[in-house]
Amino acid sequence: MKQKSPICAVCRSTLSPNRKASDLERQMRDVQASCKGCNLQMALSNLRSHAATCSKYESYILEGIKSVKKEQPQVVSDVPNRFTFMCPYCRQQNLDQEGLVEHCNKFHFSDPTPVVCPICASMPWGDPGYMSANFMEHIHRRHKFSYDTFVDYSADEDAMMREALVRSLTDN
């Protein structure tokens, strides 16, 4: 595969690393801007070196950092994680739904221990205390697809059942 030439992130024109961009250098000498710290006017080409030595610019940056830190919410939301799961047998973490099925097939296929299905337990209607008598059969029957495609997590189970019945009658 041939390596592509680098391009400008702004205008997407091809950059030539071996050739000086004299037109751009000229523009940076001609265009004036002011320092955000001390409001001194200068050419863009001098702004970076000025900002490195301007104490008021440093204060300006620190104030911005403080305000950003203040505005961050301190409370972590109580939204359950429905994207990664822990293996109910060996406690391996960060398995997505497909990865959990593959992992259990590979390492726990013949384990008869009743366990709680982590996928079902993460659902609004899930019972985190319900142990599946045959987890491997359950995971193959119930989790062939991702619930995200078909489920409205904000609706309760009765509302979803009514919706499914209505759709099954009108889809024919």
Structural domain boundaries, residue 38: 23-65
**Domain shared by 61 and 102, yes or no:** no
**Domain shared by 101 and 60, yes or no:** no
Task: Tell me, yes or no, whether 129 lies in a domain.
Answer: yes
Task: Tell me, yes or no, whether 114 lies in a domain.
Answer: yes
Task: Tell me, yes or no, whether 42 lies in a domain.
Answer: yes
Instruction: Report the b/e string of 17-32 with b at 16+ CB within 10 A.
Output: eeeeeeeeeeebeeee
**Domain shared by 154 and 109, yes or no:** yes
Give the closest residue to 89 by CA, choosing from 110, 69, 71, 72. 110
Task: Tell me, yes or no, whether 117 lies in a domain.
Answer: yes
Which domain-ending residue is among 43, 65, 87?
65
86: buried, middle or exposed (CB in 10 Å: 19+, 13-18, 0-12)?
middle
Task: Tell me, yes or no, whether 109 lies in a domain.
Answer: yes
Task: Tell me, yes or no, whether 70 lies in a domain.
Answer: no
Tens of each residue's pLDDT in the chain, 172 residues = 555 677 777 777 777 778 787 888 899 899 999 999 999 999 999 998 998 899 998 888 888 777 766 655 655 556 566 688 999 999 999 998 889 999 999 999 999 999 999 998 888 778 889 998 899 999 988 887 776 656 666 667 677 777 777 777 775 5
Task: Tell me, yes or no, whether 113 lies in a domain.
Answer: yes
Task: Tell me, yes or no, whether 76 lies in a domain.
Answer: no
| Domains identified in the chain, total number | 2
